[in-house]
Structure 1
């Protein structure tokens, strides 16, 4: 019968001791920490470790006051992803840079990575070909090397028989000539500039009126019309 009052006294003493002890404590800036552990031996439980913004709450004790919570981390939030001016090469990108380029990204003034850009690109894609005209309507070809640089042009091929605009006698009358065409082939005989007719050794003539005709002279010009009563063709 005497044990019950003693137990009640002990409980009252615990309540007084707990109220006299330190309560939960908030430490410096950081995230809200976890609650401290509860001590069963009368010694204050350590406060929970603070997160990144506020310190943890102090633990409670059944005897002495709870200890202050640990201070939160001094650095809140995430750190910058890069430092302005940083440059990073991206190896083996899923979409390679064209023309042997290097994919790089650069850190901007705000401390964040900018969109990667292809840099140091070459002149061409490996094995690509380029051609240009050469000679008499010919073509020469060059190939892009594995270093994305153009190699030297090869020899000229597919040339025609003449250079456009050049002339030759070509078996024509003395008053005519052949002229090389734009496709580097020889055209038909045609009168030279300023000539009116082919001489044909004095055998070239034409009608110039009724019973009249004229001959082409050796100067490649038509003689004046002459009457010809026997010229049935006129």
Structure 2
């Protein structure tokens, strides 16, 4: 799990560097950085959607996934539970920053295929590339939301650790079409985070996360019944 460990370490380092910059910033600079971060996250979400939408073989699947996922997430009240948990650690808008960080770090081809490639072939290229990207992202996020962004490294470790340990079982299920559908939904969630940061609309992004599971269930059942 060398690649994952490097990824985790760089997120922590990036969070520390970013938090140092935040301490020396005037409030006006922090505000404009927040706006810049919101625009960047919004752009990343829109890019992911536009990039993968044309490759989707199931153009309605992401809509159904968001509908079903939002109901499940609202039933579980994931947003409130997450905010209550984070509020025990820090005050302010850390919960918003953490949810954004988790989505940016975990929902992507590199963070899914990377640990599988590492486990099966010993190839760390995907994870090292992802680690460098996450280093930069964590610096900017921590400069905006504070050192608490480092907590996202724990989620990343569990996420990539799961795919690493289960590589032999899940490798055949992680098909290009599944990655496409997950990337579209992930793009929508990242976009909603960006709009929330900008204050355009406060979305319950955490309540939408179960939508990521629906394509997995649908495509798995589809392959099993040979439909």
Measured against the shorter chain, the TM-score band is under 0.3
Q: Structure 1 length normalisation: TM-score?
A: 0.19
- Specify the structure having the higher radius of gyration (Cα): 1
Q: Which has the bigger relative contact order, CA under 8 A and spacing at least 6?
A: 2
**Structure with the higher fraction of residues in strand conformation:** 1
